Structure 1
Amino acid sequence: MLYCVGDIHGFTGQLDRTLQLIEADGGADAPIVFLGDYVDRGPNAKGTIQTLIDGQAAGRPWTCLIGNHDLMFWRFVTSGITQDAHILSNKGWLHHRLGGNTTLASYIDADDLQAATGMTNFATEGLDPTPTDALNSLKELAQNAVPKEHLDWIAAQPRFYQTHEHTFVHAGLRVGVPLSKQTEEDLTWIRDGWLDSDADHGNVVVHGHTALDFPQHHGNRVNLDSGAGYGRTLVPAVLDGGKWFTLHETGRTALTPTT
C-alpha cells in the first residue's frame, strides 16, 4: 500500500487529521508521498514543514515532493524574489491570493511585520506591489527568522517520485517529454497542455497543484488537490492492489476513473 496527500498550504490541523486517518488505515509507519505546496494561504507553514521534517527524522517512510509555492517561499527568503512569470495575473508572492504573507506571519513576530510594512493586517491582507523598503525589511526579517534547516529541506527534497505503475509530481508533466527531460518549472507549475490531455503517459501520473472540490481520477492521471488552500478538506488517498481509494473517518471510498 502507498498513501498520498495533496496540497496542504499551511493548514496543520488538516495535516494532523490526515495523518491520523492514514495511521488508522495503514499504521504509524505507512509509506506516504506528499505532493508539495506545504506553505502559503494557511496559518502555519512553519509548523507544516516542521511536522514533515520531524516525521522523516523519526524514520517515517515519507517522500515529500516540492511544489511551486514552496519554491516561491524559498526564492523570497534566499533572494528576495516575489514575482514569477508563471503567475499570469502578475500578482506577487506577498499578495494575499498567493499567500506568502501568511507564510511569513508564521515565522515572524507580528510587531516586526508591522514595523516593516506599516500594516496591522499584513498577515491577512498581504502587500502587493511591495515598496522597496518594505520588501528589503521583510527579506531581512525572513532570513533571520526562517530556520536554515527549513530552507535546506526544501532545496533537498525531490521534484518527482516514481513506482512501477505511477509517477508522482506536484503539478504535472509536459506531454510527450520523457521524465528525465522534464524541467522543474513543468513539474511544479504546468497546467496548459496537461490538464486537458487524454494521452497515455505510460504510468498513471498522480499530482496536485490544481485545486478541486474533491480528488478526481481521470484514467491517465489522478488529481489529489482537494482545495485545502481554499478552506476545503484535505482528502488523503491510498493505492492498494492497483486501485485508488480516498480516506475518511468512515473508512475508504473507491476513487474510480471518470468517464
Structure 2
Amino acid sequence: MIYAIGDIHGQKAMLDRALLLIAADGGADAPLVFLGDYTDRGPDSRGVIDTLIHGRDAGLDWTFIKGNHDRMFLRFVEEGVTHDPAIKSGLSWLNPRLGGDRTLESYGIVPTAPASYIRDADGLETLVNYPTTEGDLTLQELVALARDRVPEAHRQFLATNPLMHEAKGHLFVHAGIRPGVAIADQVEDDLIWIRDGWLDNHDDHGSMVVHGHTALDEPEHFGNRIDLDGGAGYGRPLVPAVLDDGQWFTLHDDGRRPLRPAG
C-alpha cells in the first residue's frame, strides 16, 4: 500500500485529521507521499512544515514533492522575489488570492491592514507598504524580517524536496507532466505549474500520474491521472487516498470509498 495527500495549503488541523485517518487505515508507519503546496492561503503554514519535518526526522516513510507555492515562498525568503512568470495576472505572492500573507502571518509577521500596491510598467503588482504589528514595512524590510523569522530548517526542507516520485507503477508529481515529453526530460516549471495541454490530455503516460495543484471539489480519477487536490486551500476537506492492490480509495471517517474513473 501507499498513501497520498494533496495540497495542504497551511491547513494544519486538516493535515492532523488526514494523518489520523491514514494511521487508522494502514498504521502510523505507512508509506505516504505528499504532493506539495504545504504553504499559503491557510492559517498555519509554519505548523504544517513543522509537522512534516517532525515526521521525516522520526524516520517515517514520508516523501515530499515540491509544489509551486512552496517555491514561491522560498524564493520570497531567499531572494525577495514576489512574482512567478506563470502567474499571468501579475499578482504578487503577498496578495491574499495567492496567500503569501497568511504564510508570513504564521511566522509571526502579522498584518494590521491591507497592503498597498502599484502596477509597474510590466503590469506586475508591486508592494508599496505592508502594515504590520511591527510597523509599516517596505518590501525590503518585509523580506529581511521573513529571513529572520523563517527557520533555516524550514528553508532547507522546501529547497531539497524532489519534483517527482515513482512507486508501484505510479508517478507522483505536484501539477502534472508535459504530454509527449520523456519523464527524464520534464522541466520544473511544468511539473509544478502545468495545466494547459495537460488537464485535457487523455493519453496513456505509461504510469498513472497522481497529482494535485488544480483544485477540485473532491479528488477525482480521470483514467490516466488522479487529481488529489480537493480544495483544502479554499476551505474544503483535505482527503487522503490509498493505493491498495492496484485500486485507489479515498479515506473518510466512515472508512474507504473507491476512487475510480467516472462511468
TM-score by length of 2: 0.92
Unpaired segments ≥5 residues, structure 1: 114-119
Which residue in 2 is equivalent to 1:198? 202
Decide which structure has greater helix share: 1
Equivalent position of 1:103 in the other structure: 103
Does structure 1 conserve the Cα–Cα contact (< 8 Å) formed by 2:116 and 2:128? no
1:170-189 counterparts in 2 under 5 A? 170-189=174-193
Report percent identity of matched pairs.
55
Structure 1 counterpart SS, 2:210: strand
1:109 CA drift (Å): 4.0
SS in 1 for 2:189: helix
- 1:20 & 1:163 partners in 2: Cα distance? 23
Look up the equivalent residue of 1:106 and give its one-letter code. S
The answer as to whether partners of 1:95 and 1:126 remain within 8 angstroms in 2 is no
Whether the 8 Å CA contact 2:83–2:91 is kept in 1: the answer is yes
2:149 alignment counterpart: 145
What code does the residue aligned with 1:141 have?
L
1: CA distance, partners of 2:251 / 2:109: 36
Separation (CA, whole Å) in 2 of partners of 1:168 and 1:88: 26
1:117 aligned partner: none
Q: Does 1:58 align with 2:62?
A: no
Quote the offset at 1:126 in angstroms.
8.3
TM-score normalized with structure 1 length: 0.93
Q: Deviations over 1:15-59 (max 9, x none)?
A: 000000000000010110000000000010001011000000001
Name the structure with the higher strand share.
2
Q: Structure 2 matches for 1:1-259, cutoff 5 A?
A: 1-110=1-110, 113=111, 120-122=112-114, 129-131=126-128, 134-259=138-263
**Cα gap change, 1:100 to 1:109, in 2 (>3 Å):** closer
Query: Does the CA contact (< 8 Å) of 1:164 and 1:203 recur in 2?
Result: no
Distance in 1 (CA, whole Å) between partners of 2:178 and 2:168 is 20
Q: 1:126 to 1:55 in 2, by over 3 A?
A: farther
Q: 2 CA distance for matches of 1:253 and 1:43? A: 29
Residue ranges of structure 2 left out of the alignment (5+ in a row): 118-124, 130-136
CA displacement, residues 120-176 of structure 1 (integer Å, 9 cap, x when unaligned): 135xx7865312861111100000000011111111111100024100000000001
**Alpha-carbon distance between aligned partners in 1 of 2:213 and 2:105, rounded to the nearest angstrom:** 23
Q: Contact conserved, 1:94 with 1:101, CA < 8 A, in 2?
A: yes
Q: 1:101 Cα shift?
A: 0.3
Q: Contact 2:116/2:127 (CA < 8 Å) preserved in 1?
A: no
One-letter code of the match for 2:232? Answer: A
Q: Which amino acid aligns with 2:84?
A: D
CA RMSD of aligned residues (A): 1.4
Q: Is the 8 A contact 1:96 1:126 kept in 2?
A: no
Rounded to whole Å, the distance in 1 between the matches of 2:254 and 2:89 is 40
